[in-house]
A = this chain, B = another copy of it.
Amino acid sequence: MAAADWDGYLIAPNATGDGVTRQILGTDHEGNTQTIRVIEERPLTIYLNSQEIVTAMTIGDYPEYLAVGFLRNQGMLNPSETITGISYDNELETIVVRTETQTNYEEKLKKKTRTSGCAVGTVFGDMMEGLEDLKLPSQSVKTSWLYTLASRINRTPSLYLEAGAIHGTVLCEQDRPLVYMEDVGRHNAVDKIAGWMMRNDVSGGDKILYTTGRLTSEMVIKTAQMGIPVLASRSGFTAWGVEIAEQVGMTLIGRMKGKRFQCLSGSERLDFDADLTTVQDDPKSAGRKGAEHG
């Protein structure tokens, strides 16, 4: 299990926090004035062609990946769709994704809003819609990969270690973490990875997704939409997340702490090759700001 910092990232976290954190004057428990580093949080309104879709709260890095990944994970943008342009306006806090043809989603939305008047339920309905026929590729997972991934990711300098109050999600291949995204918004980190994959024509079938967050239904659905058959986390499960994982054939591993983990879906695809006596405990820093993952 490699303990040294992993430097094979295609995108590593912005650990210095430049542009995505701010120094704020505060008062500590003894009444002393202190400067503390706080994560930025900005609205980003995402348009698909002329259609306003959502306002996401984000740290503001990679708006292009966030917009494309969000639209992709909501089933509003087909993988085959040609993106003709993306315009990001930093001051207006808007981003417009333009596609060659009017997408299916815009039609659907117009119909829906005429009847029910609101798109929020639609967004959710559409997420589940594409899943019935989805079967993820059956990928064997070595437990030694999982331990190496956790070790490398937990030891990677990150915004989380620097300023807390943030979620992290990492796209991995076997034992190699490749793209490490962080965001204040609940699902922005995973959407940014989906956007990066779509813009770089990277497929999910041979990947593993690692997240600091909980394995809720929405996280499982997004991972399935990305075609990734393995989802791992230090955090816990929800019952519906487990159900959906079983339905789409996803291997779901949670509560990863040191050598311990629980696999609640797809354990028949686990290859228990790791020598548990060599697995290191988590570094103290991994849990240090644990409660700030709320």
Contact surface of A with B, Cβ cutoff 8 Å: 21-22, 24-31, 34, 36, 38-43, 45, 51-55, 57, 109-110, 113, 116-121, 123-125, 143, 163-165, 167, 184, 186, 211-218, 233-242, 255, 257, 259-264, 267, 270, 272, 276, 286-287, 289-294
Contacts and interface: CB of A to CB of B under 8 A. Distances in A.
Contacts of A186: 186
Given A57-B240, A110-B117, A211-B294, 7 more contacts: A28-B262, A29-B260, A41-B238, A45-B121, A52-B116, A167-B294, A212-B294
Number of copies of this chain that the complex holds: 2
9 contacts: A28-B262, A29-B262, A45-B121, A51-B117, A52-B121, A54-B121, A110-B117, A184-B238, A290-B293
- Enumerate the 7 nearest inter-chain pairs by beta-carbon distance, A residue then B residue, closest first: A290-B290, A213-B294, A165-B236, A27-B267, A41-B238, A293-B294, A164-B236
Contacts of A287: 287, 290-291
Interface of A is mostly: mixed
Contacts of A119: 113, 117-120
Contact of A26 (B22, B211, B262, B289): B262
A117 B49 CA distance: 13
